[in-house]
Structure 1
Amino acid sequence: MLCSSGTSGGEPKIMPSIAEDLERRTFVYNLTMPIMNQYVPDLDEGKAMYLFFVKAEMSTPCGLPARTVLTSYYKSKHFKCRTHDPWNDFTSPDQTILCNDSNQSMHCQLLAGLVHRRQVLRLGAVFASAFLRAISFLERNWRQLCEDIRSGKLSSFITDPSCRSCMSTVLSTPDPCLADEITRICSQNSWKGILCQLWPKAKYIEAVVTGSMAQYVPALKHYSDGKLPLVCTMYASSECYFGVNLKPLCDPADVAFTLLPNMGYFEFLPLGHNGTLLMDFDEGDVPNDKLVDLVHVKLGCFYEPVVTTFAGLYRYRVGDVLQVVGFHNNAPQVRFICRRNVVISVDTEKTNEEDLHRSVTMAKKLLEPYDGLLVEYTSYPDTSSVPGHYVLYWEILYCGIKTEAENENAVVVDGSVLEECCIAVEEQLDYVYRRCRSHDKSVGPLEIRVVEPGTFDSLMDLFISQGASINQYKTPRCIKSKKALKLLNSKVTASFFSPRDPKWVPKMC
């Protein structure tokens, strides 16, 4: 059984998988390299430092393993028993990829990548956020990694027997010269362009940089000094693999995927330009008479894909918003626009407006004993640091007696109350968000920034000055405008973070 990431409904979904599914996924993986070879030559003359990770699997009540789609692939014979391929020669030993402890896995994979730094021709991870987490890990731990290289001995905190066994071959002899080189590079005040310095022969970075991952493009360009193209090779989900990018060196904003009709049976639900439904029916329904076949989609139009898979999913709504931007022969080429109804996202979690509103509604009750009233709020995914985190801007009105502190635009309630508001919001967010916060550590503590009175009136004035209708204006629940963010941040009077991780318990199938 496959266990989805849970980005559609807030909880992982369990779905059937068959042996032929792995063969189809392997087919797509194998197809990406011939495409890359058309644009980047001689990739068989070096190694790829790709950072891959598995998630601990669950079991169904009758004992069937339930794995994420990538873990399923990495643990299959298609990956573990693959023949040597010079075009896919990874720096990471398989045992380090299959290690369930993400910190030990990260340490060993980065260590292997540094040892082979002069042979690495390409860098990458599945998601842009995961690759930036690796850079953050490197920033914190490069001294220990250098010590491992200098001594030729693996750090004692690596306790996984398989990791220690395979890394003994990678660290066959002490290499103080290599350790000195890496120390010199990592000791610089600025890490701008650090990737090109550590891996001087690297030709590109491969990762998903579409949709919510597009927010990480500036950071990737910073660490590569804009010298390494950002490559997004395929469009895939737990339910089905959809297509490949035939122009992998294009700008991330222009990435389009050519659909592969042998992956499943594809139909499309017409959408408006903002991802809304064009007809009135329940969200869970699939109006059969409104679906458009693969060959009948229209250029420029927006659709939600509906798939029927070989493993048994029938007319399954994927939840993505796609725009048709061209055709390759008769196969549509689509651009991934966003997830339907998603307001804010940092990593693999996707929070929609309804969940965000419900969470804030519960949290704001903590202000009532202090005569505090939440006037308005909005959000922003702050990815300026790794891991990224949610930021909520709150404008609070105090209905009781005004204090001197309040007149100075200070926060009236004790800071601990607003910290509790932060954790109250997080406790109400969905299963995937809480897993990313508490277990994966891929999302940082939520932050509430309290803004001075009148801030959201100023925000409305800004949007109206830019052409918004005063009659139809609604406060955006997620801010994307740089000018709007600048305005909000100029009005912040205090900032508070969640004091602890939200509760999360792994769910059994």
Structure 2
Amino acid sequence: MLPTFDPTDTEAGSRILEDITSNAGHIQEQVLEEILTKNASTDYLKGFLNGHSDKGLFKNKVPVVDYEDIKIYIDRIALDGEPSRILTNESITELLKSSGTSGGKQKWIPKTAEEGERRAFICCLRDTVLNRYLQGLSDGKALLFVLINPDIHTPGGLVLRTASESEIKNRKDRYPQFILCEDTNQSLYGQLLCGLVQRDAIVSVGTFFASGLLRIIKFFEEHWQEMSSNIRTGQISAWITDPNCKRAVSLILSKQMPDLADSIDLVCQEKSWEGIIKKIWPRTKYVLATITGSMAQYIPALEFYTGGLPVVSSLYGSSEAFFGINMKPLCSPYDVSYTFIPNMAYYEFLPIDNHQDPNCTNRKDAHLKDHIVDLANVKIGQHYELLVTTFTGLYRYRMEDILLVTGFHNSTPQFKFVQRTNVVLSIHTDKTTEQDLQKAVAIAMQILQPLGFFLLEYSSYADTSSIPGHYVLFWELQLRPNDDTPELDQVKMEKCCSLVEQSLDQKYKWLRNQSFSTIGPLEIRVVKQGTFNVLMDFYVSQGTSLNQYKTPKNIKSEKAIVILDSRVVGKFYSREVPNQDS
């Protein structure tokens, strides 16, 4: 039974947090025992444990798996309507769909009512920490942008939703009706408009991922004049036709407010939108958005728009489970670590040599489990791949996340999210990870930053249509004064290409230096502003949730590449072969 408490009672919440993080090893053993006792009779576990719930037997017999290994069981439940006890003796109430933009495939993850309670508990702990560091949050309102899609029902009769949609639709009474609007443009317009009307009450602004917040800022940039007109006249635009959305907005936009409209115009008419969030919502204390891993690329853009406000990555979670909270929410976005909460699931860790490419790990090695360590025994400075065993039917499941142990809070480890395991560029025998690429791009951008540019978004693919193949990077650049079409200097852009190559690993540089090179010069294709919004729209049209969308750093879809190529305004190539000695 999870303890209950008021997250605004920081003293009570802190006591619970200190208690569970001081007994991490013991709690983890209890969690595993409870999972096995409940689920030993499931079809899946019986195949390995013969109905026993012994923890030693579990660690010796149950294999390490990935999604493809358990998909057949999930499909039997989702598509064929077979009972939940195939995987778990808790009743599966719905399926959570992953975004599908990180690894290229959408996953369906079982969820139960009890899992909803666990997620609510960790969110209360997260709020306790925020209230400890940021005073006065209860004296105002949070403007959290959330967008939902219509429910999908599987042939087996289960609802298929994203994790965020599940939270909202299962707690409808806590959210205004415009958030429940399934037309994303109408919903976002309504949320922004109500946020503007109540601008003096807003104390925090946020959404789930940093990329989504930048999309919202772009939407606001395109519609602020219309919203200001609505506020001036007290009338919502005619294209807002969803009855619930229109009704909810009308309750807040109940009269003409010309003075408020004037103040919004004054801010939005400025040439530069630097600090726009702080200017529009002056009482804002922080911005909430996940900005770790691949999201770190958005830090410069968010720093530009937030006006020096703290950007808080508060929670580490996924469709599979919620894992940890950021105990120092006001730290630099580059330094975020998450303290794992030991009663959420059972965690195990597969060590990765700190000099090893994590993508080289043999995913089907029968001896993988011989190297696994539990939560209490991880080492500071070591990289691990996270394995998770949940109450909902995942057992020794590879999350495909690489984490770095940065320290401990009491007896509980703290982890920095490093990268996904399965996102790489490769032409020959080279393997460039997402983290490698991100670092190289950041180094190259140092050429353009003094000119006022920042990188709004980027992606890549390995072009093997010609010989030799080469890396292609798509960059969407923006000038700080909000100019529409940045001037691109040929020499500087070619230098950027060379710097990216020079910053990649030795294997890549060795292959580029061969007399019969298997890799050609790296190419940067600069695209029109708004291009990555178009790309996002494409993925959303394919079933990806806007809340969970993350720009894929390695484009695999031919249709997506066509979209990007159709909006290229400049192509640049490396003119230098990278030096192997650096």
TM-score normalized by the length of structure 2: 0.62
Aligned residue in 2 for 1:400: none
Residue type matched to 1:94 in 2? P
Asked if 2 retains the 8 angstrom alpha-carbon contact of 1:3 and 1:15, the reply is yes
Of 162, 166, 174 in structure 1, the residue corresponding to residue 256 of structure 2 is 174
Aligned residue in 2 for 1:40: 134
Aligned residue in 2 for 1:56: 150
Aligned residue in 1 for 2:273: 191
Q: CA deviation at 1:3?
A: 1.2
- Matched positions, count: 396
Asked if 1 retains the 8 angstrom alpha-carbon contact of 2:317 and 2:323, the reply is yes
What SS does structure 2 have at the residue aligned with 1:112? helix
Q: Against the structure 1 CA distance between its residues 275 and 307, is the aligned structure 2 distance closer, same or farther, given a 3 Å change threshold?
A: farther
Aligned residue in 2 for 1:220: 302
Write the distance in 1 (CA, Å) between the matches of 2:276 and 2:403.
35
Of 323, 327, 330 in structure 2, the residue corresponding to residue 249 of structure 1 is 330
Asked if 2 retains the 8 angstrom alpha-carbon contact of 1:10 and 1:432, the reply is no
Work out whether 1:229 is the aligned partner of 2:310.
Answer: yes
Aligned residue in 1 for 2:288: 206
Residue type matched to 2:133 in 1? Y
Aligned residue in 2 for 1:360: 463
Aligned residue in 2 for 1:117: 199
Q: CA deviation at 1:377?
A: 2.7
Write the distance in 1 (CA, Å) between the matches of 2:474 and 2:366.
31
Q: CA deviation at 1:359?
A: 6.4
RMSD of aligned alpha carbons: 3.3
What SS does structure 2 have at the residue aligned with 1:239? coil
What SS does structure 1 have at the residue aligned with 2:127? helix
Work out whether 1:451 is the aligned partner of 2:554.
Answer: no
Residue type matched to 1:236 in 2? G
Deviates more, 1:266-275 or 1:276-285: 276-285
Work out whether 1:15 is the aligned partner of 2:15.
Answer: no
Of 76, 80, 86 in structure 1, the residue corresponding to residue 172 of structure 2 is 80
Asked if 1 retains the 8 angstrom alpha-carbon contact of 2:231 and 2:261, the reply is yes
- Structure 1 unaligned regions, length at least 5: 83-92, 345-349, 366-372, 396-417, 469-509
- Structure 2 unaligned regions, length at least 5: 1-94, 426-432, 437-458, 483-492, 499-522, 552-559
Write the distance in 2 (CA, Å) between the matches of 1:60 and 1:275.
40
Write the distance in 2 (CA, Å) between the matches of 1:286 and 1:432.
40
Write the distance in 2 (CA, Å) between the matches of 1:286 and 1:352.
27
Work out whether 1:276 is the aligned partner of 2:357.
Answer: yes
Write the distance in 2 (CA, Å) between the matches of 1:167 and 1:277.
49
Asked if 1 retains the 8 angstrom alpha-carbon contact of 2:382 and 2:404, the reply is yes
Aligned positions of 1:255-334 closer than 5 A: 255-273=336-354, 276-277=357-358, 281-282=362-363, 287-334=368-415
Q: Which deviations, in whole Å up to 9, do the C-alpha atoms of 1:402-460 show, x marking residues without a partner?
A: xxxxxxxxxxxxxxxx9xxx9xxx9xxxx9995158777876942465435xx35x051
Asked if 1 retains the 8 angstrom alpha-carbon contact of 2:383 and 2:403, the reply is yes
Aligned residue in 2 for 1:484: none
Aligned residue in 1 for 2:228: 146
What SS does structure 2 have at the residue aligned with 1:38? helix
Q: Against the structure 1 CA distance between its residues 239 and 223, is the aligned structure 2 distance closer, same or farther, given a 3 Å change threshold?
A: same
Q: CA deviation at 1:57?
A: 2.8
Residue type matched to 1:178 in 2? L
Q: CA deviation at 1:237?
A: 0.6
Asked if 2 retains the 8 angstrom alpha-carbon contact of 1:3 and 1:12, the reply is yes
Write the distance in 2 (CA, Å) between the matches of 1:286 and 1:384.
49
Write the distance in 2 (CA, Å) between the matches of 1:264 and 1:383.
41
Q: CA deviation at 1:127?
A: 0.6
Q: CA deviation at 1:81?
A: 3.5
Q: Which deviations, in whole Å up to 9, do the C-alpha atoms of 1:379-415 show, x marking residues without a partner?
A: 25546499xxxx99999xxxxxxxxxxxxxxxxxxxx
Aligned residue in 1 for 2:450: none
Asked if 1 retains the 8 angstrom alpha-carbon contact of 2:146 and 2:207, the reply is yes
Residue type matched to 2:368 in 1? P
Asked if 1 retains the 8 angstrom alpha-carbon contact of 2:204 and 2:286, the reply is yes
Aligned residue in 2 for 1:65: 159
Write the distance in 2 (CA, Å) between the matches of 1:343 and 1:202.
38
Name whichever structure is richer in helix by fraction: 2
Work out whether 1:127 is the aligned partner of 2:221.
Answer: no
Write the distance in 2 (CA, Å) between the matches of 1:339 and 1:40.
31
Of 518, 521, 539 in structure 2, the residue corresponding to residue 435 of structure 1 is 539
Aligned residue in 2 for 1:89: none
Asked if 1 retains the 8 angstrom alpha-carbon contact of 2:358 and 2:421, the reply is no
Q: Against the structure 1 CA distance between its residues 21 and 381, is the aligned structure 2 distance closer, same or farther, given a 3 Å change threshold?
A: farther
Residue type matched to 1:214 in 2? A
Write the distance in 1 (CA, Å) between the matches of 2:360 and 2:258.
67
Q: CA deviation at 1:351?
A: 8.2
Asked if 2 retains the 8 angstrom alpha-carbon contact of 1:304 and 1:321, the reply is yes
Write the distance in 1 (CA, Å) between the matches of 2:224 and 2:173.
32
Write the distance in 1 (CA, Å) between the matches of 2:222 and 2:336.
33
Q: CA deviation at 1:375?
A: 5.3
Q: Against the structure 1 CA distance between its residues 325 and 43, is the aligned structure 2 distance closer, same or farther, given a 3 Å change threshold?
A: same
Write the distance in 2 (CA, Å) between the matches of 1:159 and 1:62.
34
- Of structures 1 and 2, the one with the larger relative CO (CA 8 A, separation 6+) is 2
What SS does structure 1 have at the residue aligned with 2:144? strand
Percent identity between the two aligned chains: 40
TM-score normalized by the length of structure 1: 0.71
Asked if 2 retains the 8 angstrom alpha-carbon contact of 1:54 and 1:71, the reply is yes
Aligned positions of 1:364-379 closer than 5 A: 364=465, 376-379=470-473
What SS does structure 2 have at the residue aligned with 1:318? strand
Q: Against the structure 1 CA distance between its residues 217 and 383, is the aligned structure 2 distance closer, same or farther, given a 3 Å change threshold?
A: farther
